[in-house]
Amino acid sequence: MVKAIVGSCWGDEGKGKITDMLAEKADIVIRFQGGSNAGHTIINDYGKHALHQMPSGVFNENTVNIIGNGVAFNVPYFIKELNYLKESGIKEPKVLISDRVQLLMPYHILFDTLEEARLSDKQFGSTKSGIAPFYSDKYAKLGIQICDLFHEDILMERIKAACEIKNVLLEHLYHHEPLNPQAIFDEVLGYKKYVEPYITNTAEYLNKAISDGKEILLEGQLGALKDPDHGIYPMTTSSSTLAGFGAIGAGIPPHSIEKVYTVVKAYSSAVGGGAFVSEIFGDEAQELRVRGGDAGEFGVVTGRPRRMGWFDCVAARYGCMLQGTTDIAFTVVDVLSYLDKIPVCVGYDIDGKVTREFPVTPLLEKAKPVYEVLPGWKSDIRGITKYEDLPENARNYIEFIERQLGYPITIVSNGPKRNEIIYR
Ligand code: GDP
User: pLDDT tens across 374-390, in order?
Assistant: 999 999 999 999 999 99
Q: What is the pLDDT of residue 296?
A: 55
Distance CA 26, CA 42 (A): 17
Q: DSSP secondary-structure letter at 406?
A: T
Q: What is the pLDDT of residue 388?
A: 97
Cβ neighbours, 10 Å, residue 259:
18
Distance CA 51, CA 49 (A): 6
Beta-carbon contacts of residue 161 (< 8 Å; ≥ 6 apart): 142
Distance CA 31, CA 71 (A): 7
Q: What is the pLDDT of residue 80?
A: 93
For the chain, give the percent of residues with pLDDT over 90.
Answer: 79
Q: What is the pLDDT of residue 119?
A: 87
Q: How far is the CA of 22 from the centre of ligand 1 (A)?
A: 15
Query: Angle at CA 421, nearest 5°, toward 417 and 424?
Result: 170
| Mutation test residue for ligand 1: of 17, 29, 263, the one with most atoms within 8 Å of CB | 17
Following DSSP, what letter does each residue of 143-211 receive, concatenated? --BGGGGG-HHHHHHHHHHHHHHHHHHHHHTS--PPP-HHHHHHHHHTTHHHHGGGEE-HHHHHHHHHH
**Catalytic center residues:** 12, 40
Q: Contact, 99 vs 91, CB < 8 A? A: no
Q: What is the pLDDT of residue 301?
A: 59
Distance CA 356, CA 345 (A): 10
Q: Contact, 405 vs 328, CB < 8 A? A: yes
Q: Which of 223, 254, 255 is nearest to 240 (CA)?
A: 223
Distance CA 332, CA 292 (A): 8
Where the chain has pLDDT below 70, the residues are: 294-303
CA distances from 8 to 20, 40, 303 (A): 18, 15, 22
Q: Measured from the CB, is residue 40 less than 6 Å from ligand 1?
A: yes
Distance CA 201, CA 110 (A): 30
Q: How far is the CA of 416 from the centre of ligand 1 (A)?
A: 6
Q: Which of 417, 411, 353 is nearest to 387 (CA)?
A: 411
Q: Measured from the CB, is residue 9 less than 6 Å from ligand 1?
A: no
User: pLDDT tens across 330-380, in order?
Assistant: 999 999 999 999 999 999 999 999 999 999 999 999 999 999 999 999 999
Residue nearest atom 12 of ligand 1, based on CA coordinates: 295
Q: What is the pLDDT of residue 157?
A: 97
Query: Which residue type occupies 195?
Result: V
Distance CA 96, CA 83 (A): 16
Q: How far is the CA of 294 from the centre of ligand 1 (A)?
A: 7
Q: Contact, 348 vs 259, CB < 8 A? A: no
Q: What is the pLDDT of residue 137?
A: 97
302, HSE (Cβ side, Cα atoms, 13 Å):
15
Atom of ligand 1 minimally distant from the CA of 16: 4
What is the sign of the dihedral through the CA atoms of 397, 398, 402 and 405?
positive
pTM: 0.94
Q: How far is the CA of 3 from the centre of ligand 1 (A)?
A: 20
| Phi/psi at 407 (5° precision) | -135, 150
Please tell me the total number of residues recorded for the chain in this structure: 424
Strands 257-265, 199-200: pairing is unpaired
